[in-house]
Chain A
Amino acid sequence: MEGKSGPDWETVYRENVVWVYRLILKKVGNPADAEDLTGEVFLAVLKPLRGNANAAEIRAYLLATARTVLAAHWRRLFGREITTIGLDETTEIPDDDHRIPNGTTVPATDRRVAAILAELPERARKVLQLRFLESYSLQDAADELGVSLANVKVIQHRALRLAAQAAARIEEQA
């Protein structure tokens, strides 16, 4: 057993770390947790991975492990799952880190935000735009909209729920 070496871990790691990080960041929405969970995924697959696993098998295994790790993360924090990684989740996550040269095209991510916001009623759209795209605090957003702080919170709650529904619809159509 000892004589047969496992997979070349540096290669597995190098070829997959960006991909796993993106997969998880998309589901947790903050880099700190995305880093933690990416680490958990790699540590979990490190030992059990068979030496002769091919690239596709490794990907499938990383995806499955990321699902488990994400689910445990949510249960730890909130007692239930908030987002989940689908088994066909990989399609829209690009593999390499080639980036669009500055300003030539609108990144897909901005289009996604725009597509979600476009589905919302005026007020909901405005409050999310201020908060998520222009980094307004709740109070600043309230002032901008000419409503009370309590009121802007209510608008934001409703807007977030509508945004989740809109995102789900967009996903289905894709």
Chain B
Amino acid sequence: MNDVDRFTDSLLGQRSPEPFRPDDEQVAQMRGAIELQAARLGAADALPDADFVARLGRELAAECTPPAMPLDRRANRRRVVRTAGIAAASLAAGAGIDRLVRGPAPAAPPREPGEWRTVAASKDVPEGGLREFELDTVTGFVQRTPDGLRAVSSTCTHLGCRLRLANPGRQLVCPCHNATFALTGEILHYDLPVEIPPLSVFEAREQDGDIQIYTPFERA
């Protein structure tokens, strides 16, 4: 049985489908199966299972309660929900960097464990130039300005989506909720009912013809 047949059977059996790597044609077929099955289930006016609604409601209530119990026990309460790994990790990473580089004494901030890592060759970033970089722990943009090198994270501080560079204007735009940041990390625009912090910035330096940034993470 091929992957799309299996996918279709899992929907018809109201089960979660198994992962595979579909090609364009298979994606088109999967969309058809979802359309029909969603229509058959009456998705637009379906009612969720009452037990599920009650259980999730209790979990949210527990999350809202100030942490009277130890944090690790609170974490265990998240049974209904799978961990949303990547976004959470990116946000946690962002917070770490933020503490690192926005310390109260910029001259000699106490460094968390980390390392200098090369993100570009010096010659590839001329005066006024800009280059995107991607390390295993962080992604961002490095820029050479009249004031020197500047490196900024491209992980949105809202839910951890990766920001895109929008030209003209050299702004970083979030594809998820359209939050917009300047290359300095400053928030330019967002339309969310929540407060979000500015982007993390990195220390940057030039070393032996390379541009390096200081990241608080060890290589995987």
**Chain A residues in the interface with B (C-beta under 8 A):** 6, 9-10, 13-14, 17-18, 21-22, 25-36, 38-40, 42-44, 46-50, 53, 57-58, 60-61, 64-65, 67-69, 71-72, 76-80, 82-83, 92-94, 97, 99, 107-110, 112-113, 116, 128, 131-133, 135, 138, 153, 156-157, 159-165, 167
Interchain nearest-CB distance for B82 vs A (Å) = 6
Which of these binds chain A: B5-13, B117-125, B209-217?
B5-13
* B67 at interface by CB-CB < 8 Å: no
Task: Please name all residues of chain A whose beta carbon is closer than 8 Å to the beta carbon of B56 when the two chains form the complex.
Answer: 13, 17, 35, 38-39, 42
B36 → chain A closest CB, angstroms: 5
Chain B, residues 166-206, CB within 8 Å of chain A (1/0): the string is 00000000001100000000000000111110000000000
Contact stretch, chosen from B42-50, B93-101, B105-113: B42-50
Contact partner of A31 among B14, B80, B194, CB < 8 A?
B14
Task: Name the distance in Å between B15's Cβ and chain A's nearest Cβ.
Answer: 6
Main secondary structure of the interface of A (DSSP, over half): helix
Task: Determine, out of B16-24, B130-138, B139-147, the stretch whose residues face the partner at the interface.
Answer: B16-24
Asked if residues A22 and B46 are in contact (CB atoms below 8 Å), the reply is yes
- A49 touching B193 in the complex, CB below 8 Å, given contacts A64-B176, A131-B8, A164-B32: yes
A163 touches B35 (CB 8 A): yes
Give the docked Cα–Cα distance between A125 and B21 (Å): 27
Contact A80-B11, Cβ < 8 Å, known A25-B46, A67-B176, A163-B32: no
User: Which B residues lie at the A interface, using CB under 8 A?
Assistant: 2, 4-5, 8-12, 14-17, 19-22, 25, 27-49, 52-53, 56-57, 59-61, 63-64, 78, 80-82, 84, 86-87, 158-159, 161, 176-177, 192-196
Chain B nearest CB from A139 CB (Å) reads 11
In the complex, chain A residues whose CB is within 8 Å of the CB of B87? 68, 72
Q: Are the CB atoms of B32 and A159 closer together than 8 Å?
A: yes
Are A13 and B60 neighbours in the complex by a CB distance under 8 Å? Answer: yes
A77 CB contacts on chain B under 8 angstroms: 17, 19
Of A26, A48, A167, chain B has the most CB atoms within 10 Å of the CB of: A26
> How long is the Cα–Cα vector from A139 to B49 in the complex, in angstroms?
31
Which of chain A's residues have a CB closer than 8 A to the CB of B21? 78-79
| Contact across chains for A17 and B37 when beta carbons are under 8 A apart | no
Instruction: Please give me the 10 A-B residue pairs with the lowest Cβ-Cβ distance, nearest first.
Output: A160-B32, A48-B194, A163-B32, A164-B32, A26-B43, A53-B193, A164-B31, A29-B37, A39-B81, A160-B29
CB nearest neighbor in B for A35:
B52
